[in-house]
Amino acid sequence: MIRWILLFVSLSAFLSGVLCAQLPSTNNVPTFGRSAGSISGAVRGIDEKPLSDVRVEVRDLATGRVVASGYTLPNGSFEFSSLRRGSYEIVASSGVQEARQRVDFLQPQSLVIIRLAQGSERDPNGASTVSIAQLKVPEKAAKAYNKAREAFAKNKRDEALTHLETALRLFPEYAQALTLRGLLYIDDEKPQQALGPLEQAVKYDYGYGMGYVVLGAAYNMLSRYDDATRSLQHAIALLPTSWQAQFEMSKAELGKGQYQEALRHVDRAAELAPPQFGAIHLVRAHALLGLKNYSNAVTELEQYLGANPKGAASAQARETLDRARAFVAANPGK
């Protein structure tokens, strides 16, 4: 979507808000004692072949909450540990395909095999097809929106707003235009004001993946990480190869203290993103700090600062790097 403005302009503030305690005083790993167990299994296609990179969620049937999530490995396997005994629903999803299976968690370990019928209609590039909502857009509104996009890409903000207002006046339910309106609010660091048009965008066109991505970014800026996760799950289902969606999901998981999940998503973002997008090193570093992997975190911070010596988050990254180096020096092997 045009230029990906820094939904990361707030990255420095985001990291400051959720990560300031990650060096080494953070030993608050929850334990569940004898009530803990694990769920492991595999996702296979209808031809019994293992399916990799399928999203798997564990939902508590008593509360409806997602208590664990991740992606299948190349052999199709997954595993979630430190779960309380109870009844869960395991949900495997890839693109528009989804399969569910209930698990009554009574034993220390439960094994689940889920079969997912992946449709051949999935776009190999991860892009959603043109939705019915998009087909309803009047030609004049579409032309005004395209002019707004072009102006926005050239940093001509006032011109972009003028064309955007025209597009929305002609078609108030224009999801792409509403998303761009929200993006402009985010550019002004006004995420609360961005929520209105962004929530409308996904309401009017639930198949517009980028709307969910930008909405998730706004929720991240407001520290509403559960809301961000829900929005970004939709985004990833619609746009499986969107690095922006994966990157924002890594930030949401980071905000919730789910460091392993944050690492998984930021690694996926790194596979998909342009090589010059250095913020990935910064988020990966803080996920590693949360996992007490200080040596690798130092390497990531050094890579970030090497590529972004004067970036918006560089001062904080440099301070964190100094603290991490000092800790590694005092605790070899950490």
Amino acid 7 reads L
CATH code for the domain of 151: 1.25.40.10
The order of strands in the sheet holding 97-105 is: 66-71, 55-60, 86-94, 97-105
Indicate the number of domains in the chain: 2
Out of 27-31, 69-73, 217-221, 254-258, least confident range = 27-31
Per-residue pLDDT tens digits for 280-321: 998 999 999 999 898 898 999 998 888 878 777 788 888 888
Backbone angles phi, psi at 222, to 5 degrees: -95, 5
Q: Let me know if residue 227 belongs to a domain.
A: yes
Enclosing domain of residue 53: 33-115
Q: Kindly state the average pLDDT of the residues 70-89.
A: 82
Q: Are 146 and 258 members of one domain?
A: yes
Taking only the tens place, the pLDDT of each residue in 273-291 is: 877 778 899 899 999 999 9
Going by pLDDT thresholds of 50, 70 and 90, the confidence category of residue 73 is confident
Q: Is residue 70 part of a domain?
A: yes
Are both 105 and 158 inside the same structural domain? Answer: no
92 pairs with which residues across the strands? Answer: 56, 99
Together in a domain, 21 and 48:
no
* CATH code: domain of residue 52: 2.60.40.10
Q: Is the domain of 52 the same as that of 140?
A: no
Contacts of 179 (CB under 8 A, 6+ apart): 1, 197, 198, 201, 208, 210, 211, 214
Q: Is 121 part of a structural domain of the chain? A: no
Which of 155-164, 231-240, 273-282 bottoms out in mean pLDDT, i.e. has the lowest? 273-282
Verify that 207 and 308 share a domain, yes or no: yes
Q: Where are the beta strands (DSSP E) in 73-210?
A: 77-84, 86-94, 97-105, 109-115
- Is there a domain that residue 4 lies in? no
Segment among 1-5, 13-17, 203-207, 246-250 with least mean pLDDT: 1-5
Same domain, 60 and 201: no
Same domain (yes/no): 171, 150: yes
Rounded to whole angstroms, the Cα distance separating 148 from 40 reads 49
Model pLDDT for residues 114-151, shown as the tens digit of each residue: 887 653 333 333 343 456 677 788 999 999 999 998 88
